[in-house]
Amino acid sequence: MNRLPEILHGVAVKKYATVAEIASVTGVDADQVRDFVKTATAGGRLLVNGDKYLLTPLAQVALRFDYSRQFDAVRSDNFFRTAYDRFESINADLKSLITRWQTIDTRGARVANDHSDREYDMEIIADLGDINDDVDGLLRIFESALPRFAYYRVNLSAALEKAEAGALEWVSSTRVLSYHTLWFELHEDLLRILDKRRREE
């Protein structure tokens, strides 16, 4: 079975990914991923830097062209599309929360949050828990159409649990697979599947 389109999509979502990361987001066995990325690199579809892969510009174009075939059933699924519209509403809430996480009001001005106010941070993490509760049902709808979406549901909850336990980097740090990092990838995945563009504010 040719899993290359799925693997290329996984690279596109991750932007710059190892074999293990591609396997995680796609649900394809790591050994299969390793074989396919070697073939794709030799064929000029992927570039490799150390142990990480990224799409070539031509592969980006070809992949978007292939999406109409790859995700035709999902794009015509009104249940999935309605869930996506609800997701975009929650996405706005998440953006607002991350702004609150990164900054704090001091004498009427927003300044960088140095995370010295534990109570402030834990209130935001509690709100993040509410967002996770809201999005869980949508992720289950996405997962019913595309089982690999379990990756997001499971790992978002795991990141939240670590943040709730006091490991603040799991909210938005790019050094770990934080809640915000995972959410950004989830959003990118959905946008590509449904041929949407990010809504700029």
Residue where a domain terminates, one of 22, 42, 70: 70
Q: What would you measure as the largest C-alpha separation in the chain, in angstroms?
A: 61
In a domain, 201, yes or no: no
Same domain assignment for residues 55 and 87 = no
Single-letter amino acid, residue 38: K
pLDDT band at 201 (very low <50, low <70, confident <90, very high): very low
Q: Which residue has the higher pLDDT, 109 or 11?
A: 11
Residue where a domain terminates, one of 20, 35, 70: 70
89-130 per-position pLDDT tens digit = 999 999 999 999 999 988 888 899 999 999 999 999 999 999
Domain count of the fold of the chain = 2
> What is the rounded distance in angstroms from the CA atom of residue 150 to the CA atom of residue 27?
9
Closest CA to 54 of 46, 45, 62: 46
Same domain assignment for residues 49 and 90 = no
Per-residue pLDDT, 162: 98
Domain residues for the domain of 65 are: 4-70
Same domain assignment for residues 91 and 148 = yes
135-167 per-position pLDDT tens digit = 999 999 999 999 999 999 999 999 999 999 999
Per-residue pLDDT, 200: 57
Long-range contact pairs involving 101-110 (C-beta distance under 8 Å, separation at least 24): 101/171, 101/172, 102/172
Closest CA to 154 of 168, 144, 143, 165: 143
Provide the 3-class DSSP secondary structure of residue 47.
strand
pLDDT band at 54 (very low <50, low <70, confident <90, very high): very high
Question: Is the pLDDT at 32 greater than 70, yes or no?
Answer: yes
